[in-house]
Amino acid sequence: MKTLKRNLHGTFVESQHSTARDVFGHLLAIGTLYACFGSFIALLFQYINVKFPDALSYSYVGSLDAIRTSMAILIVVWPVFIFISWLLAKDVKANPAKHNIGIKKWLLYLTLFATAITMIVDLVTLVNYFLNGEITTRFILKVIIVLLTSASVFGYYLWDLRRDATVPTKLPMIAAIKDSIIIAAVIILGFVLVGSPAQQRAVRFDETRVNDLSVIQNEVVNYYVTKHVLPVSLADLSNTLYGFAAPVDPESGEAYSYDVIIDTMISGATPDESISKFKVCANFATDNNITPTYTSTSAKTTAPVPARDMYGNSPYSNNWSHTAGTVCFERQVDSSMFISNPPIVK
């Protein structure tokens, strides 16, 4: 059913009631728009965080995770938004009265409202961060991103509300092409930062290797706490009671390398004089030294391992920086950091 309604220009135009197809089509279009809008801003924010890291509030790994999530949303959702928008525009072109249906106007006004609120809230948040010590360059760039992105969305949909659907225009097509090029460039930049899927798989394998070496290190320390001697090999760590077996390389299935460098208990030293050292090695596929860090120390430096308790808990974490290839981590068991227990005699 069609009716006449007054438009923003004061003239009467033909209006048509919404169908189920119209409602869900416009809901899908607006929903995908919001997802792309938020992901685009979040992605650029993380690029700025990586480029201008702040030692007070920065996590490189967290930024990469956020980048991957935002990239995935844009890669999947943006083409859906473009396709749905094209279908809706095609429908309006065939039936100009649908340009004025209620569901579309309600959602467009909601979009204008949401865009304005987003811009205001983001600016308030950014100013708050700036007053709390945010790096000036990061603050300025993020403000520019919020203003430009919000103004673009607000301006386009305000124009769409006011335009005459009977007058041909190429602006939607031009805007779609321009925005698609920008989003494609931003996504490509994301691949440069986080690497290809194959690269990320290699990184995950290396993260597992580091975790395995940490487990082995803790078990070696536990062994030393109870027996006051370092295990000769990883086989000595096997414990049928607790079901522990030394982990192996997740990709090749080979055992990790472990060697005793010095065990002064074997030479007859007292527990207080014991400064024992060992090393654990693994073959890594990637270099994690490019990760920005604010507590960086050389991976070749001996890191003392406080044998604190039977669970391997330590007052501080060890350095696991590594390059690609075989890398060994030398650890020193500091007996002064735990209360000596008499060795278990079997």
- In the predicted model, residues of the chain with pLDDT beneath 50 are 1-2, 4, 8-9, 12-13, 292-317, 339, 342-346
Query: Is 314 in contact with 306 (CB distance < 8 Å)?
Result: yes
3 bridge partner residues: 15
pLDDT for 58 equals: 57
280 bridge partner residues: 258, 329
pLDDT for 318 equals: 58
- Backbone torsion region of residue 286, taken as left when φ is above 0, otherwise alpha when ψ lies between -120 and 50, otherwise beta: beta
pLDDT for 269 equals: 53
Q: At what angle do helices 20-51 and 171-194 cross, to 10 degrees?
A: 40
Q: Is the pTM of this model over 0.75?
A: no
- Measured between alpha carbons, how far is 265 from 263 in angstroms, rounded to an integer? 5
Residues 179, 7, 21: CA angle, nearest 5 degrees: 60
Q: Tokens representing 96? A: 């100009």
pLDDT for 33 equals: 95
Query: Is 341 in contact with 225 (CB distance < 8 Å)?
Result: yes
Q: Which of 190, 231, 222, 228 lies closest to 305 in space, CA to CA?
A: 222
Per-residue pLDDT of 235-284, as tens digits, reads: 988 876 777 888 999 999 999 999 998 876 555 555 555 578 899 999 99
Q: Which amino acid is at 145?
A: I
pLDDT for 302 equals: 39
- Measured between alpha carbons, how far is 4 from 176 in angstroms, rounded to an integer? 31
